[in-house]
Amino acid sequence: MQIPHWFWFAAVVLLFWGACGIFQKLATNYISAESSLVWLILGFILIEPFVYPGKSLLHYSKENILWGLLSGVLSNLGAWGLYVAMKSGGKASIVAPICALYPAIVVILAPFLLHESITLRQGLGVLCGLIAVVLLSV
């Protein structure tokens, strides 16, 4: 069995975002979710000096730079939307599992926007994954 290359990067995501869940929970014991999002963005800013690309940024296409910027806008708007949904009376037991289903949007859009397809085995994995995230976020 050969483990795919992306798997190791995904492991980093799981580990660090998994730990985020704990610290986010601890943060919201003291401050509101919206405040925590603002301070979280400050955390992003603290990383900036370490990832500053310098002049090499000019070598990338404007289109892809725009995608990079847009990923930050959309991701944080999504997080804000989640807090607003909770604040405006949405039940956490309903809002959280629905939001956790965001990979389903990617699964639906990827064939059209990225011209990617998945194998039957990968499809089964996606199905298991979607069931898992819903159950884990209830």
Partner 1 sequence: MIVSKLGAREIPAPTMQFLFTLGSLPVGLALLAGRRFKLEKERKGISYAILTGILSGIGGMGLFAAYGSGGNTAVITTATSLYPMVTVVLAVLFLRERLNWIQVIGLGFAAAAFVLFAY
Q: Which of residues 69-108 bind partner 1 (CB under 8 A)?
A: 69-77, 80, 100, 102-103, 105-107
Q: How far is the CB of 131 from partner 1 (least distance, A)?
A: 5
Q: For residue 57, state whether it binds partner 1 (rule: CB under 8 A).
A: yes
Closest C-alpha to 72, from 99, 101, 103, 48: 48
* 134 token code pair: 């819903």
Question: Is position 20 an interface residue for partner 1 (rule: CB under 8 A)?
Answer: yes
Nearest approach, Cβ of 65 to partner 1 (angstroms)? 6
Among 92, 94, 98, 132, binds partner 1 (CB under 8 A): 132
In the complex, minimum distance from the CB of residue 94 to partner 1, in angstroms, rounded to a whole number: 14
Q: What is the dihedral of CA 85, 137, 98, 31, to 10 degrees?
A: 20
Q: How far apart are CA 57 and CA 62, in angstroms?
A: 10
Q: What share of the chain is helix, strand, coil (3-state, %, to 5)?
A: 80, 0, 20
Number of residues that bind partner 1 (CB under 8 A): 96
Spatial CA neighbour of 83 closest among 34, 128, 44 = 34
Q: Please tell me whether residue 62 binds partner 1 under the rule CB under 8 A.
A: no
Regarding 64 and contact with partner 1 (CB under 8 A), the answer is yes
Question: Rule CB under 8 A: which of 36-55 touch partner 1?
Answer: 36-48, 50-53
